[in-house]
Chains A and B, each alone.
Chain A
């Protein structure tokens, strides 16, 4: 796999070379950053910490048309998904989250929308030189320069970007833009190594997950769930902003006779999520819903897919309006074991 250097002066030309593809990159959205389509001629800047909303929408849009039809009809039409997409500058944790979610979307039966979007996408990651204050990716199997889930990894070396191909798809994108770049030599590898180890040292928060997956089911009636969920508002922010949260609702929407079946992100923190039509709810309060959210990520998912469904991005902790901290929650779980 190739390793190439791009002088930052040539960054606009690099982006220009990708014209025709759907380019998603972090862009300012009010006071936060968010992945959005790059308008023709625009040059996205990659000097950002992480986006508030993860880039999971690139493969799993917040709202996605599944089928189009006439209300009351019997013929359905599928959306055409054929535009190549390049996601520029996503963080390694968010790419790792995509590999985790993909396990579910490919479990026995392929989810055609997710799989198709992944096939059409090239994921270009960006090493975290400056991890955030609630980042804890190394504790859950990741790292600031993890290549898992990526096709191509970029490292910001100051004057230059280092591009390292991870997959054939990444290699193909490099070959399209190769004439703007120069080969990277051995010194560059050392430079990158130094940056990464500095970044790793900047990650101060950790979780100890040992025994958590096996132990969580036994804590079913533990008072910790009451404690952890006591301040929860049930707003769903933790799930919407979680790069591994993949739950969705399916609804039909009609406008006259034109109708579509769509899916939208849903949240296990909402009452309606598991509400039966009879009025019975197996998870009637935020206590049960919190227990399910944590158990799903740290135990059920491990049981099914052999990986913790948390990548340590820290978003749920950063943005919880009542300061519920997943690291603290897992610490309490450990304590109760």
Chain B
């Protein structure tokens, strides 16, 4: 039994490969084989063309910080031990934007446009969350 108390991602059948990937140290992006769109977050149907012929591509794992915010308070009790939390939206070269936390850095080190790379942290036996750290 895991003693992880924070919320786990609510995984859907069509996003399961993303989470299987993070467990193996891969950042996978859903890809439409019909119209070539990269899709985030994963869907059952391609939001561009409604094709169900969807596969996965391996992201480089590099990204740039689009924006960030350092949270000092106002979170649920289960997150309090993590404060301050550096929230960020990061842009992947694969053309998608993800929400994440920046780790292995201090709030004062963070800037918009900064280069970051993915780092995987296993939080339960089944779930590995992707975080990002400065390159």
A and B interact: no
Residue numbers of B with Cβ under 8 A of A are none
Residue numbers of A with Cβ under 8 A of B are none
